[in-house]
Structure formats: structure tokens, C-alpha cells
Copies of this chain bind each other. A is one copy, B any other.
Amino acid sequence: MAVGLKIASKITSVPGIKLAVAKAGIKYNNKNDVTLIAINAEAHCAAVFTQNKFCAAPVIVAKKHLSEAQPKYLLINTGNANAGTGDDGIARAEKSCHALAELTGVSANSVLPFSTGVIGMTLPDDKIIAVLPAMVDALQENAWLDAASAIMTTDTMPKAYSKTLVLNGENIVITGIAKGAGMIKPNMATLLAYVATNANIEKPLLQMMLETVVKPSFNSITVDSDTSTNDACILIATGKATLSINNLESHTAQVFMDGLREVFIFLAQALVRDAEGATKFIAVRVEQGRSEEECREVAYTIAHSPLVKTAFFASDPNWGRVLAAVGRAPVDDLDVQAISIYLGDVCIVESGGRAASYTEEQGLEVMRQDDVAVKVVLGRGEASATIWTSDLSYEYVKINAEYRT
């Protein structure tokens, strides 16, 4: 029931990147559940990870390996998060990296492991290791959509996006995939997302680019306020094109950053559109705040409110719940008299109360749409922020009540 989301019809491969998927039997439903991404030797990689203090074993191992070596392989399983698994979980993540390293003749720390699925179960690393030989043989450039499907958990459709820029007369491609539909409130990081470009960008600049585009994309969405233990986002520059980007000043760099931002925002919004049980895609924009941070606080308070989310599910313009959420946001000395609230283009609250011009019919008209915008104008500054979220439906409860049962 993804809201306004279609499966990508064409994804452009990225020279230097090869992918393969396999059924290892970790997921209960006999679907592809292991993904292997091979990265060319000259590539550079940037990464951000979850800030959850109970971060999963693969996150711990991937961070360690990243600090030691240039990644050659990303090894991703779904169906089991290998989180809350202590030292044994770390040993099993390491073991799968070692097996792949032995098979391919690279060092074990050039393999980064990723897991997503149920927390607290023992990782069946033997099942992953068993499918590695066939996966290595199957690696090919044109398997991005297969990978986008294989990394899914409760997602109902794969998320993938390609952007091709012509820079200095050369095709520069940016292609990415992502997964995640619940336990989504990324914190300075993301869920699982893998994005690659054929441009040549050294690691420090690539890391800066990643952190820049993650904030207005993956770090600006929430489904249910729950930050995962396993979030990770990888940005790879394979350097197969002749274009080198060495700083952010040039026009070329700015065009590239715009393209990168477009890919990241598409993928982030796709996660929300396919959020567990989603029937609405809600953009919460807060303007005229004193700082971007306070705008984000107000927007997240609205986006996390179960009462706001159930009202949207019911297509009920119960704007009092939005107002109550603004009023409890952790922002000091808000002057409610200065605040206006809009549903779509309709002003519903001004001067601390219902707008004189507002009619319930106007609110219902906006609420009938699948994509709904809420705008809060704080009237006390120049900053703004947008957060995207979904509604709270029976289906969300059903999915999460039945997830393991």
C-alpha cells in the first residue's frame, strides 16, 4: 500500500560496481536474503552509521574495518539484525567476512558486513557462507534492482533511483538503493542505503558530501520515532569516469551535489511512502524559527504524535492535535500568538486560535489527498526545516504485532 510510489523501471548501473543476490534461508519466506556488492579497487567509500548505543554487531565490525582498509565487498543479509547478540554476534559477523575474503583473495577487513531483521537472534553465518561462492560467480553490473529487492524486510516494494548528469561532456551516474519501513527515525545516519557514482572523489570530500546530503534526506524522515540498531548508509565513488571532484566550490561540484541530493531525497521519501501501513505521505514543514534545530524539534513532535498520525489515517482535519503537538514541542518561550498553521495551502490556525477564514470543508478537501503538507510558521526567525512522515493505521499495528508471530 505504498503511497504514490512505483517500482523504478530503469536503473543505470555504475561502472566499477557489481552485485549479486542469493537465497540463504535466513528469511522465512524463501526470498533472496543475501546481497553482495563488489567495489572496484580504485573506489573511495564514505559511510554513516546509526547513533543507537546498542548498535548491532555488523555496525561495530563495519566501522572497525572501514578504519583499517579500503572496502572491496559489502555483504548484506536481511531477516536477522545480528543486534543485541554480544561478542558471539561480532564473531559471526567477522567469520562471514573472513570466508568471503578467503574466497576472493582480499583481506578480511576490506569486507563490510550489514544485517537487518529481527533483533536478538543468533546470526546463521554458516548459511551466509554457504551461498558466497555462487554469489561471487554471479556478480554483475546490472543487478541493482535485484539488490534493492533482496535487502527488503517489511518493505512492500524495492527502492532504487538513478540520476545521470552530463558533466564536462561526460555521463556521471548516481545510483542508489535503500530499504526500511519501520523502526525508522534515523539519527545522524540512515537505515540501509547504498549509493554509488562513477565520479572520482577522494574519501574526505566524499564523507563530507555524504554527511551533507544525509541530513535533508534520511535524517529528515520518521515513521515511528524508533532509531534502529543497524542503520548504515554507504556512498561509493568508483572513479571509473575521468571527472574528478576535489572541492565543493566549482559549478560542476554544485551540479553533482544537486544530483546526489535528489537521489538521497528520493530514496528517503520512498522509505516513508512505503512505511509500514502507510496510507498518507505527510510533509511537515516548519518556517520562521530561530534555528533549524528548533524547526526540526517542532516538526518531529508533530510527526511523532500518534494522535496526529491517526487523524491523518482517518483523513480527519483534526488540526487541534497539530496545535497540541506544537505546544508541547521542546522549544523555549514559544509565543503561540505569533504562530500560524497551514494544512496544504489552507490557513487553519492564526493568532493562537482557529483561523477566522477556515472551514471544515477546506480541511477535508486537503485531507482527501494521499500527499498532505502541514506547515507551521513560528514567526520568530529565519530558519526552516522539513520532515517527512507517514500516518498510523491499523495495518501498522498489525504488521508490528505480527512481525515475529
Contact = CB atoms under 8 A, between A and B. Distances in A.
Interface of A: 51-55, 81, 83-89, 118-120, 182-183, 185, 187, 224-229, 304-307, 310-311, 313-314, 316, 318-321, 323-328, 334, 336, 349, 351-354, 392-394, 396-398, 400-405
Contact of A54 (B55, B226, B323): B323
Given A84-B352, A353-B84, A318 B403 contact: yes
A146 to B, nearest CB: 28
List the 8 closest pairs (A to B, CB-CB), nearest first.
A119-B320, A86-B353, A54-B327, A314-B401, A310-B400, A120-B320, A227-B328, A52-B327
23 contacts: A52-B328, A54-B336, A54-B352, A55-B327, A83-B324, A84-B319, A84-B320, A84-B353, A85-B353, A86-B352, A88-B353, A119-B318, A120-B318, A120-B323, A120-B353, A185-B328, A187-B328, A224-B306, A229-B327, A306-B400, A310-B397, A313-B397, A394-B397
A183 B324 contact: yes
Contacts of A354: 84-86, 120
Given A54-B324, A316-B401, A306 B86 contact: no
Contact of A324 (B226, B319, B321, B353): B226
Given A54-B327, A118-B318, A318-B403, 10 more contacts: A86-B354, A119-B318, A120-B354, A183-B307, A227-B324, A310-B401, A316-B401, A316-B404, A316-B405, A392-B397
A228 B325 CA distance: 9
A301 to B, nearest CB: 9
A36 B225 CA distance: 41
A224 B401 CA distance: 17
Contacts of A404: 316, 318
A225 B320 contact: no
Given A307-B182, A324-B226, A393 B397 contact: yes
Contacts of A392: 306, 397
B405 A353 contact: no
B334 A53 contact: yes
A394 B88 CA distance: 37
Nearest to A230: B324
Contacts of A225: 304-306
Nearest to A358: B120
A351 B119 CA distance: 15
Contact of A311 (B84, B229, B351, B400): B400
Given A306-B226, A353-B86, A314 B119 contact: no
A398 to B, nearest CB: 7
A304 B224 CA distance: 10
A94 to B, nearest CB: 15
Nearest to A52: B327
Contacts of A351: 86
A323 B84 contact: yes
Nearest to A319: B120
A224 B84 contact: no
A194 to B, nearest CB: 22
A397 B310 CA distance: 6
Contacts of A324: 52, 54, 83, 119, 183, 226-229
A236 to B, nearest CB: 27
Contacts of A51: 328
Contact of A226 (B224, B228, B321, B402): B321
A53 B327 contact: yes
